[in-house]
Amino acid sequence: MAGTYTHKFDTPVYKGEITINTGLFINNKWVAPVEGKTVITSVSVGTSKDVDIAVKAAEEAYKNVWGLRCSGRERGKLLYKLATLIERDADEFSALEALDVGKVFAHAKAGDVGGAINTIRYYAGWADKIQGKTIETTDAKFTYTRHEPYGAIVSEDPYPTQQFMASWKLGPALATGNTVVLKPSELTPLTALKLADLIVEAGFPPGVVNIVNGYGHEVGQAITEHPRLRKVAFTGSTVVGRKVMKASADTNLKVVTLELGGKSPTIIFDDADLEKAVRWASFGILQRQACTAGSRIFVQEGIYNNFLPLFQKATEELTEKTGDPFGVGTQHGPQVSQTQFDRVMGFIEHGKSEGAKILIGGERHGTEGYFIKPTIITDVHLGMKLTREEIFGPVCTIIKFKTEEEVIEKGNDTEYGLGSNIFTENLNRAIRVSNAIQSGSSWVNIAQVTDPAVPFGGYKHSGIGRELGEYALDTYTQVKGVHINLGP
């Protein structure tokens, strides 16, 4: 039998006791893994044998009760009910996200959990609007297209925003009639396991959603290589994304969508609203573990000497609000693990060895936990490791620029292309620069605020395909052309 994990929260922002099933969720039942392994807080760890069982359940559900046998209207009702149940339990999900990841409780509730609710509701509305078109050819033929689901698919999600990312995939996948085998991050599985109980409560048929916990090299590899799964949606590092693509090529040519790493530029022009730019630039890198983090901050020379002390002051204030994710007024929490803490600190030390200057931060915050002081680094150039590789921590570099043409070239001088943040009061410039920067998303006078209706994804090494919006529906369906002979 699968076990449970109970955590009692007695914090200033949330009090309560949450019990979570810690097994594998297959066919709407909690089951123990075939080989009986466990990981963090005794969460069950699956193997390729459990993946086979989950895939079979997903296939049976697709053929018999979901897919083309369940109307879009019914799928929409179930998704809408799921969103309502998440909203009911929003505090519990936020507490688990803070416990799991170290994300500040208030940020988790407003951003991750609130975003998940909005996303699933958005796709509930799309479920009965998956439409093809008629195509005129000749009088002797009636032709049209159908947008059909792939069947059983796989979703792999990252640790920083487990609840949010799961909704980005489950929403469009289920709305279009696919069944899902979901692998949550082994570092942060709790919100996915909590979600499973709500999937049952909402009334989804057995096998429509299955969750197999486990390590990437075992469960992740098994589902990516599985010969009967036809699509994989992966969010994570570019290194692992390459492995996912290779596994697809080496096995059954799964359709692959990837949302990968980033090294987003934040570009602040002389004519920007300085207070707004400081606030959003801080939010865009120092308060979040996010793939879109605006870690390369380019400041035009006319305001550089004004921006730097204001940004340093904002960072000092943020440092004072660093601490317990469940604390009142906390704005910045810890890294997710010792490994990630060491990795971020390694980047800082490497930067110092290359001659970069630590303006503020660059060290552990406090004596316990994986807290890193928000860090500003100057005296850098685009050849440094600090400015080339994704750090995934509260670390940013500041680079001065002169002209619009120069900053566009520097902003694009990266293998990544996930997001960009542009601050200017000149509308023409905002449009020119956002068009010229090679990134899947551009935010003007704001940073990293997504919307379920707007597509999200990357250029270059930051990914393939799009999530969110109507565009995501295309990545979860395949188009069939139908030709009907009307003549002899």
Q: What share of the chain is helix, strand, coil (3-state, %, to 5)?
A: 40, 25, 35
6 φ, ψ to 5°? -120, 130
Contacts of 110 (CB under 8 A, 6+ apart): none
For residue 185, what are the CA distances in angstroms to 22, 39, 52, 100, 370? 14, 11, 19, 10, 19
Burial annotation 424-461 (CB, 10 A radius, 16+ → b, else e)? beeeebbeebbebbbbbbbbbeebbebebeebbbbbbb
Secondary structure element (H or E) that encloses residue 25, with its range: strand 24-26
Which two structure tokens, joined as six digits, stand for 220?
Answer: 């992740």
Which two structure tokens, joined as six digits, stand for 305?
Answer: 């000497």
- Best CA proximity match to 436, nearest among 463, 455, 413, 415: 413
CA distance 399 to 410: 10
259 has catalytic annotation: yes
72 φ, ψ to 5°? -60, -35
Q: Please state the length of the chain.
A: 488
Specify the pairing of strand 463-464 against strand 441-444. unpaired
Secondary structure element (H or E) that encloses residue 313, with its range: helix 301-320
- Best CA proximity match to 194, nearest among 406, 382, 19: 19
CA distance 429 to 444: 10
CA-derived radius of gyration, the chain: 23
CA distance 140 to 485: 6
Specify the pairing of strand 265-268 against strand 296-300. parallel
Determine which one of 59, 259, 390, 467 is catalytic: 259
Which two structure tokens, joined as six digits, stand for 358?
Answer: 């630590």
Catalytic residue ranges: 259
